[in-house]
């Protein structure tokens, strides 16, 4: 495998550049490893990860809003927007403005709900894919 490492690096680098050009022109990502998250946000070594999750409320029933690619937002963009506003709301840093913006965002990505709730989920990434995964949820705000 060692003798192929240099060739794999060059191939990966070139394909990432091609994907970057295609994305800039409005096309889909061609090379799956061009994503910056693969290299800059590895979470396998962390004992605890946190993320903010939106839930939609309709007829007293609550459902998690999954981040799926839409016309205006990629799924990674949706996660970053939710995390950014979630941290601002939890830390009382521009709380009301962030709350209003998150509500507008939630209505844009999932307009079929009557209300929205923001939770903070804390989990151990090493448990992903295992038989049991503990997720601690903390209510941040109702939108």
Cα–Cα distance measured from residue 73 to residue 133, given in angstroms and rounded to the nearest whole number: 29
**Are 33 and 55 contained in the same domain?**
no
Cα–Cα distance measured from residue 15 to residue 30, given in angstroms and rounded to the nearest whole number: 8
**Are 59 and 93 contained in the same domain?**
yes
Q: What's the number of domains the chain is made of?
A: 2
Domain extent, residue 73, equals: 49-142
**Are 76 and 130 contained in the same domain?**
yes
**Are 66 and 125 contained in the same domain?**
yes
**Are 65 and 98 contained in the same domain?**
yes
**Are 78 and 118 contained in the same domain?**
yes
* Closest to 57 (Cα-Cα) out of 108, 112, 96, 105: 112
Cα–Cα distance measured from residue 15 to residue 11, given in angstroms and rounded to the nearest whole number: 6
* Collapsed DSSP state (helix, strand, coil) of residue 17: helix
pTM: 0.66
Length, in residues, of the chain: 143
pLDDT value at residue 72: 80
How many other C-beta atoms are found inside a 10 Å radius of the C-beta of residue 77? 14
**Are 114 and 54 contained in the same domain?**
yes
**Are 62 and 30 contained in the same domain?**
no
**Are 27 and 82 contained in the same domain?**
no
**Are 131 and 82 contained in the same domain?**
yes
pLDDT in tens, the chain (143 residues): 567 778 877 887 888 788 778 778 877 766 665 555 555 555 556 678 889 999 999 988 899 998 888 888 888 888 899 999 999 999 988 889 999 999 999 999 999 999 999 999 998 877 777 788 888 999 998 98
**Are 30 and 61 contained in the same domain?**
no
pLDDT value at residue 44: 55
**Are 59 and 118 contained in the same domain?**
yes
Cα–Cα distance measured from residue 5 to residue 10, given in angstroms and rounded to the nearest whole number: 9
């Amino acid at each position: 495998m060692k003798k192929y490492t240099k060739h794999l690096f060059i191939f990966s680098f070139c394909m990432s550049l091609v994907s970057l050009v295609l994305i800039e022109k409005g096309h889909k990502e061609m090379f799956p490893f061009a994503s910056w998250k693969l290299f800059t946000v590895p979470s396998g070594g962390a004992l605890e990860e946190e993320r903010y999750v939106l839930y939609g409320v309709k007829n007293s029933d609550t459902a998690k809003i999954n981040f799926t690619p839409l016309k205006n937002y990629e799924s990674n963009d949706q996660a970053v927007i939710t995390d950014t506003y979630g941290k601002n709301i939890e830390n009382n840093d521009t709380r009301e403005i962030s709350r209003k913006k998150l509500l507008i965002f939630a209505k844009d990505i999932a307009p079929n709900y009557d209300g929205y709730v923001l939770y903070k989920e804390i989990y151990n990434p090493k448990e992903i894919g295992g038989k049991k995964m503990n997720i601690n949820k903390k209510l941040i705000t109702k939108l």
